Amino acid sequence: MPNFSRKIKWFFYKSFSLLSVIRGYNVLVVLLAQYVTSIFILSGKNSFRAVLLDESLFCIVFASAITIASGYIINNFYDSEKDLINRPQKYQLDRLVSQQTKLTIYFIANFIAVIIASYVSFRAVLFFSGYIFAIWLYSHKLKRLLFIKNIVATFLAILPFFAIFLYYKNYDSVIFVHATFLGLIILMRELVKDLENLRGDAAVGNRTIPIVFGESASKKILVGLAIASIGTAMSLVYIFPLGKMYYFFWMTAVMLLLFGVLLKKASTKKQYVVLHNLLKFVIVTGVFCITLIELSWLKRLL
What is the structure's pLDDT at 224? 97
Q: Rounded to whole angstroms, how far apart are CA atoms 302 and 209?
A: 50
What does the DSSP 8-state code read for residue 41?
I
Same domain, 165 and 189: no
- The number of folded domains in the chain is 2
Average pLDDT, the chain: 87
Beta-carbon contacts of residue 224 (< 8 Å; ≥ 6 apart) = none
Confidence of residue 298 (pLDDT cuts 50, 70, 90): very low
Same domain, 240 and 290: yes
| Neighbouring C-beta atoms of residue 277, cutoff 10 Å | 12
19, part of any domain: no
Q: Rounded to whole angstroms, how far apart are CA atoms 202 and 186?
A: 22
Judged against a pLDDT cut of 80, whether residue 108 lies above it is answered with yes
| Range(s) of the domain holding residue 129 | 24-169
Top-confidence residue, 52 or 281: 281
Same domain, 104 and 186: no
CATH value at residue 213 = 1.20.120.1780
Same domain, 137 and 40: yes
Tell me what percent of the residues of the chain surpass a pLDDT of 70.
Answer: 92
| Boundary residue ending a domain (106, 141, 169) | 169
For 238-263, how does the pLDDT look when each residue is reduced to its tens digit (9 = 90+)?
A: 988 888 888 999 999 999 999 999 99
Confidence of residue 2 (pLDDT cuts 50, 70, 90): low
Same domain, 165 and 199: no
Top-confidence residue, 157 or 12: 157
What is the structure's pLDDT at 247? 93
Same domain, 83 and 112: yes
Top-confidence residue, 188 or 205: 188
